[in-house]
Structure 1
Amino acid sequence: MKKLLLWLLLVLATPAMAQHSGADKTKVLFVGYDPAKPLPDMKRYAPGMMSEKEFTAEYPVRMPAFKALLSQYFAEVKTMDCRDWKPEDSAPYDVTIFDFPTNVVEPAKQEKDEKGKVNYISARYLPDDFSKPVVFIASTADQMGRRIGLKLDWLCLCLDADAHHLNSQHAIFKGPLEKVVPTMVTKQTPDGIFHYATGADVPKEIPMWRVQNTGYLDGKGVRIGLVSRGNRFSESPDVEMISSGVCQKDVGAVALGRHGNFFLWGFGASPADMTEEGKKVFVNAVAYMKQFDGKTPISRKYNDRMATTDDVREIIANVTKKSYDDYVSELKTFNEGNAKENKRLNDKKAAGQALSPEEEAKLPYVGRAQEIDSWETYLKRRMGKLAGRFGNDGPAFQKYLSDNFDYIYCDPDGFFDYSIDEDVQQIGVPNHSVKLLETCVSMLKKNERPELALKVLKRYTGEGFSTAKDWSDWLTKNKKKLFFSETNGYRFIVNTYSK
């Protein structure tokens, strides 16, 4: 064990990095699993959604690898077991890195609202007002950030080893510790991108940047990375989308991004398996986050299952025969693969060979074929509550939504629920435009349909004023600071960062 740790320290301290030792005064706290402590309980699954074998093999290596890399650049680096961390432990440090989730402060629960709807409340790991800069590794971002409304949510635990569509001009490639010109290699575009309307114009091959040496798609049992939803990700001034990555989702899925004082490093590898460029950009990201101390998110996202206008665009684009044919082809391929895996596992079992815990867990599921909808059922599902109005007339459905796109309202508490806001439609001004608020205030002043104006103002601001003067004063004061957030209440929000 001691030889392994010594080897890691020597390998990670390359000449190029050694010259930076102690160069940055940033104090860093790394929170993960301390290999000096016993392994955590893995009765249900291993941390990081790894297999027990993979997690156990990496357990003695992971924290020392991060410690060695960070110590080459930062004046003070402390490591702490995630089972011991408390919010006050981060107070003396400029940046905290969470490699794995800490202890749950409040367990997940279900609550019924006044309408009888059951709502799932995620487990709490952090206080709502936690303001210290944070870097999350992979799935830890969603696990710890969901309760406090971070956009660093769990779209898919399927991020491999390469980044693409990256903003190479972003500060984390410029420094402050290392300047990195990402080595871009043209590779085949992930197939998942082409299953989305946003992938229509993406070439079959795109430039990619290798972040870690080994990906889970290589079949070598490494920690899988996380991508977050890109839909309306960058709608607010407290957010930065830096890069997507190789995964099964759309081209806008977020692999590297920031929301307030929280940063998503979606890739799962420790420095022991990062590329040299990946290591440098990682330490740059840690140093970059120091400036966001106290810059908590302005806009929060508490329902990752709400629809956005990006989702509606996808629905409009997919109500076609071509999209249906792609859907049928995709499900047939999935079912064929499932059937093969089911046969493999059952043959292995019949031969008297023991299945791994992971194989045992998936055996009940791989034998189930996904039902393929008919064209009519496919249309009905995508049209949702508008199916009764348009039947099998896809073009009419598309035209209706396209013609009324400026009035689409997505229910922030719903499950991918959207509608046309007929109140705004009557006024005739797009609901994402500040002009709507100006028009409604003007209507109040002139006593033109005041009930309608007041209803719309309250819906799209969350404010409760009742007089034209109060609304006018509020709008005059905040007009230049307003931005529209779909994911935080589907309303206008004041940019509190703006002076």
Structure 2
Amino acid sequence: MDHQAHGLDLSHPVYTHPRRAQFQLHETESPPHYAGHTSPLYPNGAGETYRLTKFENEKPSTPNPTLVSHEGFFTDIPGFENLAEGHSAKALGSLSLARQGRWFYWGYSIDPERMTQPAKDTFVNVLYWMNLQRDSETVTYVTDTRKNFEVFTWLGRDRDEPYLRGVQEHLPGSLVPELREVYVPSFEGADAFVAKYLPYLFAGKPGMPTDKKYGPLFAADADAMALKTPNNDRASLERWVALADGDACEDREHALRCLERYVHAEIAPKSGTWTEWYAKQKARICFIDSTGFWWQVDPTVRTREARAARAR
């Protein structure tokens, strides 16, 4: 990571109000390891070139953690705003400026005296912008997202000396012991693991194991796998609901356990059928990994409802 940024939407208020940030952008070739990858700011990839700008006048010669990047707790949540990507030596898709609800992520640990003028202007604008977001409903971070496992399948794979810590240490270290035993610590093993288990992974539930280094450990949902229903798919939720209100059978038991596991207690039905519950909640809910793998009220819906209630 360094002190630069790219992918800025210069029409956004954090760059225009009350100060217009006049960034000097320079065209540069996209790093080879960006090829074939996408991100929230580059849904079609970065292209052969992209434009970089500085947030710090001169990067110090001594080590300086100028940019810290992590996508969990941001990109999987409705209402997320990715406002800049960092210049990452590892991968496309790092966060350097982002907003989720009332939270703002400023990824540059720069002495204010060293900030470029447009960076200073942006910082001031962020304060104004976040003042307008004080009534935004947000969610609580519990765990990393499952996207990390996809990243491990390609991160550093094409280097002359491949980066192996991801597939040999970080990926297995993030798994419950049962999954760790069946995982093969290699890029090919990571490919096979992701292909089989990614749609069914979950973590952060009460009583699940955690690790001091890796936090909540990931397990694979045997019930969802038995039904071939990825836990974050709307079609899966609808099938669970239909099975839950159907005749007694093994699939119904799988579905009931999935509903208990993934429908947040705040909105789970207290009476009536699951079909009736879903009809009432369908337009309000979404699935979020980083809150603990829940079907829950979409925070943007919650914000809209709260604002409407205050306006009455």
- TM-score of the alignment, normalized to the shorter chain, above 0.5: yes
Alignment partner, residue 242 of structure 2: 442
**C-alpha distance 428-317 of structure 1, shift in aligned 2 (>3 A):** same
Pair 1:490 & 2:293 matched: yes
Alpha carbons 2:197, 2:220 under 8 Å: kept: yes
Q: Would the alpha carbon gap of residues 456 and 326 (structure 1) be closer, same or farther in structure 2, given more than 3 Å must change? A: same
Shift in alpha-carbon separation, 1:489–1:162, aligned structure 2, 3 A: same
Match of 2:201 among 391, 397, 408: 408
Residue of structure 1 in register with 2:253 after alignment: 451
Return closer, same or farther for 1:437/1:463 CA change in 2, 3 Å cut-off: farther
Q: Distance in 2 between matches of 1:291 and 1:475?
A: 33
Match of 2:5 in 1: 163
2:69 aligned residue (197, 205, 228): 228
Tell me, what secondary structure is at the counterpart of 1:477?
Answer: helix
For 1:408, give the aligned amino acid.
L
Whether 1:212 and 2:64 are equivalent positions in the alignment is no
Find the residue that maps to 2:282 and give its secondary structure. helix
Alignment match of 1:278 (pick from 115, 119, 122): 119
Aligned AA (1:497): T
Distance 1:215 1:247, change over 3 A: farther
Indicate how the Cα distance of structure 1 residues 498 and 395 shifts in structure 2: closer, same or farther if over 3 A, else same: same
Could you report, residue by residue, the CA deviation over 1:305-357 in whole angstroms, capped at 9, with x for unpaired residues? x4x2211112333696x5693237xxxxxxxxxxxxxxxxxxxxxxxxxxxxx
Secondary structure in structure 1 of the residue aligned to 2:71: coil
Counterparts of residues 197-208 of structure 1 (less than 5 Å): 206-208=50-52
Q: 1:185 aligns with which of 8, 23, 26?
A: 26
Tell me by how many angstroms 1:185 deviates: 1.0
Aligned CA distance change for structure 1 residues 498 and 456 (closer, same or farther; 3 Å): farther
Tell me, in whole angstroms, the C-alpha distance in 1 between the residues paired with 2:2 and 2:88: 6
The residue that corresponds to 2:309 in the other structure is none
- The TM-score normalised by the length of structure 1 is 0.48
Q: 2:282 aligns with which of 465, 473, 479?
A: 479
TM-fit CA distance, 1:459 = 0.8
Provide the secondary structure at the position in 1 that maps to 2:303. Answer: coil
Q: 1:356 corresponds to which residue?
A: none
Gapped runs of 5+ residues in structure 2?
A: 40-44, 306-312
User: Superposed, which structure 2 residues align to 1:198-347 within 5 Å?
Assistant: 206-216=50-60, 219=61, 224-231=65-72, 233-247=74-88, 249-297=90-138, 299-303=139-143, 306=144, 308-317=145-154, 325-327=161-163
Is contact 1:229–1:252 with CA below 8 Å preserved after alignment?
no
Distance 1:466 1:280 in 2: 48
Q: Any idea what SS the aligned residue of 1:215 has?
A: coil
Hey, what's the Cα distance between the residues in 2 that align with 1:324 and 1:422? 38
> CA 1:327–1:433 in structure 2 vs 1: closer, same or farther (change >3 Å)?
closer
CA distance in 2, matches of 1:161, 1:397: 32
1:135 is aligned to none
User: Judging changes above 3 Å, is the alpha-carbon distance between structure 1 residues 234 and 382 closer, same or farther for their aligned structure 2 residues?
Assistant: closer
**Distance in structure 2 (CA, Å) of the matches to 1:381 and 1:275:** 36
Aligned-pair CA distance for 1:455: 1.2
Quick check: which has more Rg, 1 or 2? 1
Ranges in structure 1 where 5+ consecutive residues have no aligned partner: 1-158, 329-372
**Alpha-carbon offset, residue 448 of structure 1:** 3.9
- Residues 76 and 288, structure 2, Cα contact 8 Å, conserved in 1: yes
Count of matched residue pairs: 283
2:179·2:220 contact (CA, 8 Å) conserved in 1? no
Query: Kindly, what percent of the aligned residue pairs are identical?
Result: 20
Amino acid at match of 2:52: M
State the alpha-carbon separation in 2 of the partners of residues 253 and 318 from structure 1. 13
Q: 1:427 to 1:280 in 2, by over 3 A?
A: same
What RMSD in Å do the two structures reach over aligned CA positions? 3.9
Q: 1:181 and 1:253 mapped to 2: Cα distance?
A: 23
The alignment status of 1:418 with 2:222, answered yes or no, reads no
1:469 matched to 2:272? yes
Question: CA 1:393–1:226 in structure 2 vs 1: closer, same or farther (change >3 Å)?
Answer: closer
Letter in 1 for 2:296: I
Q: Is the 8 A contact 1:164 1:207 kept in 2?
A: yes
Conserved? CA contact 2:30–2:50, under 8 Å:
yes
Residues 234, 186 of structure 1: CA spacing in aligned structure 2 closer, same or farther, 3 A cutoff?
A: same
How far has the Cα of 1:392 moved from its partner? 7.6
Q: 1:232–1:249: structure 2 CA closer, same or farther, 3 Å change rule?
A: farther
Kept in 2, the 8 Å contact 1:319–1:398? The answer is no
